[in-house]
Amino acid sequence: MEAQRMAMRCADRSTRIRGLAVPCRKMWLAWMTLALLALLTTTRAGVPSLVTDEEGNLHIETPSVTEGTSRVVYINGVDVVAQNAALTTALESLRQHVATLGEPTFATAKLITASFTHPYALARGDMNNDGIMDILFTSLTFGQVGIAYNLGNGSFASSINVVTYALASPHAILVMDTNNDGFKDFLVADADGGSVVAYTNTNPSAGTFSSTVVADKLDAPVSLDELALNKDGFSDFVIATENKDAIYLVQGGSTWSGPSQVVSGTANSPSAFSVRSGDMNNDGYADLVVMRTSADEVALYTGSPTGTFYFSGVLPTLGADYPRAIELGDLDNDGDLDVVLVASISNSVVIMFNQLNGQFSGELVSNSVATPVALHLADLNGDGHLDILTTSFSSQQVVWFRNLGGGRFTNKLILGQGLSQPNSLVALDVDQDGDVDVVATGENANHVVWYENLRL
Ligand SMILES: *[C@@H]1O[C@H](CO)[C@@H](O)[C@H](O)[C@H]1NC(C)=O
pLDDT in tens, 107-165: 999 999 999 999 999 999 999 999 999 999 999 999 999 999 999 999 999 777 888 77
Is any atom of ligand 1 closer than 6 Å to the C-beta of 129? Answer: no
- pTM for the complete prediction? 0.78
Q: How many CB atoms within 10 Å of residue 257?
A: 14
Answer whether 70's CB lies under 8 Å from 82's CB: no
Is any atom of ligand 1 closer than 6 Å to the C-beta of 264? Answer: no
The CA distance from 453 to 437, in Å, is: 5
352: left (phi over 0), alpha (psi -120 to 50) or beta: beta
Strand segments (E) across 191-296: 195-203, 208-215, 221-227, 236-241, 246-251, 257-264, 272-278, 287-292
**Gap from CA of 151 to ligand 1 centroid (Å):** 7
Strand segments (E) across 126-191: 134-139, 144-150, 156-163, 170-176, 185-190
Strand partners of residue 196: 189, 215
41: exposed, middle or buried (Cβ count in 10 Å: 0-12, 13-18, 19+): exposed
**Gap from CA of 186 to ligand 1 centroid (Å):** 27
Sequence-separated (6 or more) residues with CB below 8 Å from residue 74: 80
pLDDT at site 144: 93
Q: Name the strand (E) or helix (H) holding 151.
A: none
pLDDT at site 271: 87
Q: Specify the amino acid at residue 97.
A: H
**Gap from CA of 158 to ligand 1 centroid (Å):** 12
> Which tens digit of pLDDT belongs to each residue from 131-147?
999 999 999 999 999 99
Share of the chain above pLDDT 70, in %: 82
**Gap from CA of 203 to ligand 1 centroid (Å):** 23
Predicted confidence (pLDDT) at residue 22 exceeds the cutoff of 60: no
What's the average model confidence in pLDDT over 16-40?
53
Strand segments (E) across 231-354: 236-241, 246-251, 257-264, 272-278, 287-292, 297-302, 310-314, 323-329, 338-343, 348-354
* Ligand 1 atom at minimum distance from 153 CA: 1
Residue 63, preceding peptide bond in cis (omega within 30° of 0): no
Which carries the bigger pLDDT value, residue 337 or residue 95?
A: 337
Lowest mean pLDDT among 120-129, 185-194, 231-240, 367-376: 231-240
The CA distance from 389 to 409, in Å, is: 12
Is any atom of ligand 1 closer than 6 Å to the C-beta of 151? Answer: yes
The CA distance from 36 to 275, in Å, is: 87
pLDDT band at 13, cuts 50/70/90?
A: very low
Q: Specify the amino acid at residue 104.
A: P
* Per-residue b or e along 284-309, where b marks 16 or more CB atoms closer than 10 Å to that residue's CB: ebbbbbbbbbbbbbbbbbbbeeebeb
> Which tens digit of pLDDT belongs to each residue from 56-106?
767 666 655 444 444 666 777 777 778 888 887 787 667 556 545 667 899
Q: Which of 394, 389, 401 is nearest to 440 (CA)?
A: 389
Residue 167, helix vs strand vs coil? coil
Lowest mean pLDDT among 13-17, 304-308, 359-363, 384-388: 13-17
**Gap from CA of 173 to ligand 1 centroid (Å):** 28
Alpha carbon of 230 to those of 5, 214, 225, 233: distances in Å?
108, 19, 15, 8
* Closest residue CA from atom 8 of ligand 1: 155
pLDDT band at 171, cuts 50/70/90?
A: very high
Lowest mean pLDDT among 32-41, 73-82, 122-131, 420-429: 32-41
Alpha carbon of 64 to those of 3, 68, 395: distances in Å?
44, 7, 69
The CA distance from 94 to 27, in Å, is: 62
Answer whether 424's CB lies under 8 Å from 120's CB: yes
Q: DSSP 3-state helix, strand, coil percentages of the chain (rounded to 5)?
A: 10, 45, 45
Residue 42, helix vs strand vs coil? helix
Q: Name the strand (E) or helix (H) holding 12.
A: helix 2-16
What's the average model confidence in pLDDT over 442-455?
95
Q: What are phi and psi of 36, to 5 degrees?
A: -65, -45
Half-sphere exposure of 196 (CA within 13 A, CB side): 28
